[in-house]
């Protein structure tokens, strides 16, 4: 396995993978093989005897990412590593130790913070609307992950929430905590607080946890909050065997308490840390990386991405320089983007390899309509999970039932028979409705069956489906992906359309401070670096009170509007020779890296 763990790594990746003893800091830019390095490093440690799998904890931020990490480790022959989110690891420890400490089962977890807040509001005689309750819930989350008391929160956020002045917000938080205690419940953030408190207060718990886990790896370290960082310190104790991986340029959750200073200051805290910089990008064309580098130039901790010698994988014929298109209004923008995507589909591009990204969910409605008018189905990320779709659950149960019946036909024919009985047809229904959504979901199951290894049985196939559901390992439907920039983090597509690159949208209108604008810049960077082969950016002027101007970020990466309303543009790989082109509703390739004056 040593060969497989070290095979196919570039020089910097190999350096990170073979640095088995901490502290280790891996600064990993977008598309540089971050997850590959993490999993191969753990596999190499296990193979060489430096690690025992059961004593390794790999921490990441989403259940899906943790599931992918476990899958990659299995492929490398490694089983037994605890690849979990902070919350999953903390909850497992609470459930294990609580009965011994308290003589009772651990408290249950609040399933709906807003609903509980509404009940708490009733107890103090106020009736805030649902939007205000959601905002108070967010304030509670921020207060806890930044480790503030209710009083300290009131001092830090003196403006109140909605129509609730700060004093009433504090009263509501106290009522919420009181009601939660009476019901023996913990909310999401309490899980981390309670676990940290337990380890701090109980020496034998601290000793047991530190004996169990000797080697820590933390992914997306730029997104760690003060509370998560404190829990990590308690897990470590006085040991130093930790590897952290992150990219300060992809810090996009500061509003939720993430603090990139933990990443940026790591090598100052551990002055003997082994620092590895991963800057070779294996995802994107050089012209896309030029745009990304220009946007983040001179920002703290920014890495300079360099294209891999071979360029992005796959064909080279569909690579083109990034473009910017100006439209008269949002309807025209949605239709223009849909028309461009339809042309790509007609040319043979798989819809699964294309995405439209935007700043806010509200921008998706017009896009869904425009894509449906063009005959294209879309999936909006952030909606119902694939295995929670009613048609998928129905199909999995039907396939499970068929797997225990005597088989009259082969595996593939059996799967197709079941799916046809539930409504799968040879030709898809029209795009834009529930029937098409259901058809796409069943088609994804059929493709999974077609891709199954030779000799797969119906029972093994349904076992795999149920394992996928538990790990949130969802198949990609043959649809165009629509996603906010936050939801797109960690994903990639060949062709990306970044919509609404205008002042008021990106950066968003309520971003007013330097720090808030910088977070918007990082969001734009995340969107740009999702693209592998082509990047198209667009904005719409609108009219009247909704009239917009192009984003300041476009000016910083080499485009802008002059007094004659023209769009300066040249190939992104050039550094001079700008050619002006009318931007009424036309597009042009981006100019090379250049700062706005």
3-state DSSP assignment of residue 57: strand
- For residues 175-207, one letter each, b for 16 or more C-beta atoms within 10 angstroms of the residue's C-beta and e for the rest, the string is bbeebbeeeeebbebbbbbbbbebbeeeeebbe
- Count, in order, helices (H) and strands (E) of the chain: 24, 19
Q: Provide the whole-model pTM.
A: 0.82
Instruction: Specify the DSSP class assigned to residue 255.
Output: G
Predicted confidence at residue 566, as pLDDT, reads 30
Q: Give the strand pairing for 24-28 and 242-246.
A: parallel
Q: Token pair 């029937």 is at which residue?
A: 435
Question: Cα-flanking dihedrals φ and ψ of residue 26, to 5°?
Answer: -110, 110
Torsion of CA 67, 303, 356, 499, to 10 degrees: 150
Kindly report the CATH number that applies to the domain delimited by 2-90+193-278.
3.40.50.300
Nearest in space to 424 (alpha carbons), one of 406, 399, 461: 399
Q: Is the dihedral of CA 338, 341, 343, 348 positive or negative?
A: negative
Q: Token pair 């990034």 is at which residue?
A: 322
Cβ atoms of 316 and 70 closer than 8 Å: no
Q: Is the dihedral of CA 359, 363, 365, 371 positive or negative?
A: negative
Tokens representing 56?
């390794």
Q: Residue ranges of the alpha helices (H) in 330-457?
A: 330-346, 364-373, 390-403, 411-421, 434-450
Known binding residues for ATP are: 28-35
Q: How far is CA 419 from the centre of its chain?
A: 31
DSSP code per residue over 96-118: HHHHHHHSSPPPEEPS-HHHHHH
Neighbours of 227 (CB within 10 A): 18
CATH H-level, domain 288-383+479-589: superfamily? P-loop containing nucleotide triphosphate hydrolases (3.40.50.300)
Known binding residues are: 28-35
Tokens representing 379?
């999936």
Q: In the chain, what is the straight-line distance between the N-terminal and C-terminal CA atoms, in Å?
A: 54
Question: Cα-flanking dihedrals φ and ψ of residue 318, to 5°?
Answer: -100, 15
DSSP code per residue over 457-521: -HHHHHHHHHHHHHHT-PPPPSSEEEEEHHHHTT--EEEEEE---BTBBTTBTT--SHHHHHHHH
Question: Cα-flanking dihedrals φ and ψ of residue 56, to 5°?
Answer: -105, 130
Q: Is the dihedral of CA 584, 585, 591, 595 positive or negative?
A: positive
pLDDT mean by block of 10 residues, the chain; 597 residues:
75 94 93 94 93 94 87 90 94 93 89 93 90 90 93 86 87 94 93 95 94 94 95 94 95 90 94 95 93 92 90 66 91 93 93 93 86 87 76 88 77 88 84 74 85 86 83 75 92 94 90 92 96 94 79 79 30 29 46 36
Q: How far is CA 510 from the centre of its chain?
A: 22
């Amino acid at each position: 396995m040593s060969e497989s763990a070290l095979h196919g790594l570039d020089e910097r990746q190999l350096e990170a993978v073979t640095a088995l003893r901490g502290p280790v800091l891996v600064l990993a830019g977008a598309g540089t093989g971050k997850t590959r390095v993490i999993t191969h490093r753990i596999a190499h440690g296990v193979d060489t005897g430096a690690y025992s799998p059961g004593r390794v904890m790999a921490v990441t931020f989403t259940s899906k990412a943790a599931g992918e990490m476990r899958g990659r480790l299995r492929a490398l022959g490694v089983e037994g590593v605890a690849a979990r989110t902070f919350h999953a690891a903390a909850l497992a420890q609470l459930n294990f130790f609580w009965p011994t400490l308290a003589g009772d089962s651990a408290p249950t977890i609040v399933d709906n913070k807003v609903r509980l807040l509404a009940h708490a509001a009733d107890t103090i005689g106020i009736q805030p609307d649902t939007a205000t309750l959601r905002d108070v819930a967010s304030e509670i989350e921020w207060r806890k992950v930044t480790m503030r008391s209710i009083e300290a929160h009131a001092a830090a956020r003196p403006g109140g929430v909605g129509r609730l002045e700060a004093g009433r917000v504090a009263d509501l938080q106290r009522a919420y905590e009181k009601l939660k205690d009476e019901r023996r419940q913990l909310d999401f953030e309490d899980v981390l607080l309670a676990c940290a408190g337990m380890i701090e207060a109980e020496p034998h718990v601290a000793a047991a946890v530190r004996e169990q886990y000797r080697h820590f790896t933390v992914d997306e370290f730029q997104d760690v909050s003060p509370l998560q960082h404190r829990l990590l310190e308690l897990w470590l104790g006085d040991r130093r065997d930790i590897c952290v991986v992150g990219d300060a340029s992809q810090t996009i959750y500061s509003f939720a308490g993430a603090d990139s200073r933990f990443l940026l200051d790591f090598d100052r805290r551990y002055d003997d840390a082994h620092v590895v910089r991963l800057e070779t990008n294996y995802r994107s064309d050089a012209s896309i990386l030029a745009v990304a580098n220009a946007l983040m130039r001179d920002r703290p901790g920014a890495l300079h991405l360099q294209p891999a010698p071979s360029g992005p994988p796959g064909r080279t014929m569909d690579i083109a320089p990034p473009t910017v298109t100006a439209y008269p209004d949002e309807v025209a923008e949605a239709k223009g983007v849909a028309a461009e995507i339809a042309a790509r589909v007609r040319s043979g591009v798989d819809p699964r390899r294309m995405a439209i990204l935007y700043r806010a969910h509200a921008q998706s409605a017009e896009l869904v309509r425009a894509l449906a008018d063009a005959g294209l189905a879309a999936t909006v990320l952030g909606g119902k999970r694939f295995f929670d779709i009613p048609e998928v659950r129905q199909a999995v149960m039907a396939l499970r039932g068929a797997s225990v019946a005597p088989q009259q036909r082969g595996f593939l024919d059996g799967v197709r028979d079941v799916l046809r009985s539930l409504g799968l047809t040879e030709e898809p229904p029209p795009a834009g409705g529930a029937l098409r959504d259901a058809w796409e979901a069943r088609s994804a199951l059929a493709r999974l069956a077609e891709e199954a290894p030779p000799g797969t049985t119906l029972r093994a196939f349904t076992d795999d489906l149920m394992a996928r559901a538990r790990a949130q390992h969802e198949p990609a439907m043959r649809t165009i992906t629509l996603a906010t920039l936050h939801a797109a983090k960690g994903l990639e597509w060949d062709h990306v359309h970044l919509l609404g690159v205008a002042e008021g949208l990106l950066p968003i209108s309520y971003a007013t401070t330097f720090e808030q604008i910088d977070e918007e810049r990082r969001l734009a960077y995340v969107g740009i670096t999702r693209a592998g082969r082509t990047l198209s950016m667009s904005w719409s002027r609108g009219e009247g009170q909704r009239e917009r101007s192009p984003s300041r970020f476009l000016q910083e990466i080499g485009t802008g509007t002059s007094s004659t309303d023209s769009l300066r543009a040249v190939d992104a790989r050039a550094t001079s020779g700008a050619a002006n082109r009318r931007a009424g509703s036309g597009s042009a390739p981006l100019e090379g890296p250049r700062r706005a004056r």
